[in-house]
Amino acid sequence: MTHAPQRSVQVVAHRGASEDAPEHTLAAYKKAIEDGADALECDVRLTADGHLVCVHDRRVNRTSNGRGAVSALELADLATLDFGSRRTRETWRGRTSDTEEPDWEHRPEDRAETSVLTLERLLELVSDAGRRVELAIETKHPTRWAGQVEERLLTLLKRFGLDAPPSAAESLVRIMSFSARSLHRVRAAAPTLPTVYLVQFLTPRLRDGRLPAGVGIAGPSIRIVRNNPAYVERLKRAGHQVHVWTVNEPEDVDLCVELGIDAIITNRPRAVLRQLNRG
CA distance 185 to 180: 9
| Secondary structure (DSSP) of 64-130 | SS--SBGGGS-HHHHTTS-TTTT--TTTTTT-SSSSSPPS----GGGHHHHSPPBHHHHHHHHHTSS
| Known catalytic residue at 56 | yes
Residues in the chain: 279
Which listed residue (14, 24, 240, 243) is catalytic? 14
Please identify which of the residues 24, 51, 56, 243 carries the catalytic annotation.
56
14 counts as catalytic = yes
Determine whether 216 is exposed, middle or buried from the number of CB atoms within 10 Å of its CB (0-12, 13-18, 19+): middle
CB 96 within 8 A of CB 58: no
How large is the angle between the packed helices 119-127 and 148-159, nearest 10 degrees?
Answer: 30
Are 192 and 165 a contacting pair, CB within 8 Å? Answer: yes
Taking alpha carbons only, the member of 25, 59, 58, 27 closest to residue 42 is 25
Active site members = 14, 56
